[in-house]
């Protein structure tokens, strides 16, 4: 098991590359991947890293070298995955709400495709008929996930084709002679309860008899990782056992061996990442002491977007007296990273490490307030590599057309 990055390693990176800075610990990604492959060795399983969590090309290549495949949510992610060196057959494209032309583009690359609307399914059938095996994303009408914004399988969600539209799906498949190879669900993110995956499978099991050419059951991503100290991640060993039991006990799955696919994002890359920032201002307002850092919701939106808890450490003063702070950014609207949080005493100039910043951290960053996006570094085998330079002045003007 790799040790987590030490405060010294983080401080060294902050000193060398400046802040705000994203730091990723490669071996942590591998540790998480191995937990999955070990747990699921009892079943024929493939893992597709949900690259939307973090698409830095070096991370994609690291994940590929571990033996993991890749899940994409846009044609550009597909292109990044190809650029990173994945073979088309190692790439899964789970589209949602897109124009059919983007699906056609994906077909040209030869990747696996999951379709999430009747409209695109019908177009796909009319154009490709039986020639291109495809998956259907089903909305199982299951409520799951850490909060409503990241719940995707419930009965008012935009994602997937509602399971109660099975008859129409069958009509389309029959009329256009589609080759349905995969049934897919993804019910949300931050799912700790393994029963959610089992319930989703049971919904899919009801559908299996209707798709005789089916080879793959794809249960999506969504495994929980600990954000708050002491929290537990999804017990993937228990999950594998339960899924195996469900397969073993289900009559429709009995006479055919299905391959199981998962699309983990957070589970692989959340804990590997830290956002390092420097304290710019300590402001004592009486009841609240604010510590402002040289970052903001433009660099890590999760606290403001999902009320997400991110653990924060003062790596410059690890033995300082515990005091209560509200950690904020430098953006011109409320951008609280943590409210009323106990931390070792903070002085202006101290470096803070914000944990669990690997997944949906840099990836959701923006240039709001015309701030630069941070640099990214990767620590692998004890060496630190710059894997994205910090934005610079020209990046702010790069795509602007100066007409007036
Ligand atoms: N598969 C599909 C089809 C997905 O839509 C997603 C995530 C995943 C896999 C990976 O889910 P994960 O294993 O990372 O939970 N920005 C939010 C999370 C949005 C997830 C979107 N879809 C956050 O920061 O919590």
Q: Residue 158's domain is classified under what CATH number?
A: 3.20.20.10
In a domain, 178, yes or no: yes
Over the stretch 102-128, which tens digit does the pLDDT of each residue have?
999 999 999 999 999 999 999 999 999
| Domain end among 211, 231, 266 | 266
- Provide mean pLDDT across the span 9-25: 98
- Provide mean pLDDT across the span 367-392: 98
Q: Rounded CA gap, 116 and 162, in Å?
A: 9
Question: Ligand 1 centroid vs 49 CA: distance in angstroms?
Answer: 10
Task: Give the three-state DSSP class for 368.
Answer: helix
Q: Rounded CA gap, 100 and 33, in Å?
A: 33
Query: The tokens of 31 are what?
Result: 């540790």
**Based on the domain organization, do 320 and 211 belong to the same domain?**
no
Q: Give 274's strand partners.
A: 23
**Based on the domain organization, do 58 and 150 belong to the same domain?**
yes
With beta carbons less than 8 A apart as the criterion, state whether 313 and 340 touch: no
pLDDT classification of 194: cutoffs 50, 70, 90: very high
Beta-strand pair 112-115/91-94: parallel
In a domain, 200, yes or no: yes
Beta strand spans in 116-263 (E):
134-139, 161-162, 180-184, 216-218, 259-262
What is each CA distance from 209 to 82, 221, 256, in whole angstroms? 35, 24, 11
Question: Ligand 1 centroid vs 265 CA: distance in angstroms?
Answer: 6
**Based on the domain organization, do 225 and 310 belong to the same domain?**
no
- Provide mean pLDDT across the span 90-95: 95
Question: Ligand 1 centroid vs 60 CA: distance in angstroms?
Answer: 16
In a domain, 299, yes or no: yes
Task: Report which of 44, 26, 110, 53 is spatially closest to residue 265, judged by C-alpha positions.
Answer: 53
With beta carbons less than 8 A apart as the criterion, state whether 70 and 47 touch: no
Which pLDDT belongs to residue 4?
83
> Which residue range is the domain that position 355 belongs to?
273-397
Which pLDDT belongs to residue 1?
47
With beta carbons less than 8 A apart as the criterion, state whether 190 and 221 touch: no
**Based on the domain organization, do 69 and 155 belong to the same domain?**
yes
Atom of ligand 1 nearest to the CA of 53: 14
Q: Rounded CA gap, 401 and 404, in Å?
A: 9
Q: Residue 282's domain is classified under what CATH number?
A: 2.40.37.10
**Based on the domain organization, do 200 and 280 belong to the same domain?**
no
In a domain, 295, yes or no: yes
pLDDT classification of 395: cutoffs 50, 70, 90: very high
Pocket test for ligand 1, best of 29, 48, 50, 364 (most atoms within 8 A of CB): 50
**Based on the domain organization, do 330 and 217 belong to the same domain?**
no
In a domain, 53, yes or no: yes
**Based on the domain organization, do 232 and 304 belong to the same domain?**
no
């Amino acid at each position: 098991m790799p040790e987590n990055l030490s405060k010294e390693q983080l401080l060294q990176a902050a000193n060398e590359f400046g802040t705000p800075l994203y730091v990723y610990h490669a071996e942590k990604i591998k540790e998480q991947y191995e937990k999955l492959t070990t747990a699921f060795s009892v079943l024929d399983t493939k893992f597709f890293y949900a690259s939307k969590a973090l698409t830095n090309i070096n991370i994609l290549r690291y994940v590929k070298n571990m033996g993991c495949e890749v899940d994409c949510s846009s044609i550009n992610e597909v292109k990044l995955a190809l650029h990173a060196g994945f073979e088309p057959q190692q790439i899964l494209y789970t589209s949602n709400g897109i124009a059919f032309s983007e699906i056609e583009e994906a077909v040209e690359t030869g990747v696996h495709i999951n379709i999430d609307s009747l409209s695109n399914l019908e177009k796909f059938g009319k154009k490709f008929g039986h020639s291109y095996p495809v998956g259907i994303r089903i909305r199982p009408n299951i409520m799951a996930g850490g909060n409503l914004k990241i719940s995707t399988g419930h009965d008012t969600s935009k994602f997937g084709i509602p399971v109660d539209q099975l008859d129409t799906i069958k009509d389309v498949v029959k009329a256009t002679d589609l080759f349905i190879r995969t049934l897919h669900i993804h019910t949300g993110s931050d799912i700790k309860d393994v029963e959610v995956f089992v319930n989703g499978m049971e919904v899919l099991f009801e559908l299996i008899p209707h798709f005789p050419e089916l080879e793959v059951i794809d249960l999506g991503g969504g495994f929980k990782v600990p954000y708050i100290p002491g929290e537990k991640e999804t017990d993937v060993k228990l999950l594998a056992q339960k899924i195996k039991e469900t397969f073993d006990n289900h009559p429709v799955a009995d006479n055919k061996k299905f391959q199981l696919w998962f699309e983990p994002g957070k589970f692989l890359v959340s804990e590997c990442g830290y956002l390092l920032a420097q304290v710019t201002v300590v402001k004592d307002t009486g009841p609240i002491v604010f510590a402002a850092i040289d970052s903001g919701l433009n660099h890590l939106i999760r606290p403001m977007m999902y009320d997400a808890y991110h653990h924060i450490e003062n790596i410059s003063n690890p033995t300082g007296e515990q005091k209560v702070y509200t950690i904020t950014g430098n953006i011109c609207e409320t951008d609280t990273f943590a409210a009323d949080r106990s931390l070792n005493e903070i002085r202006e100039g101290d470096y803070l490490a914000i944990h669990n910043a690997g997944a949906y951290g840099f990836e959701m960053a923006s240039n709001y307030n015309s701030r630069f996006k941070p640099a990214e570094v990767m620590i692998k085998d004890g060496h630190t590599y710059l894997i994205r330079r910090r934005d610079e002045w020209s990046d702010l003007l790069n795509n602007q057309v100066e007409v007036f």
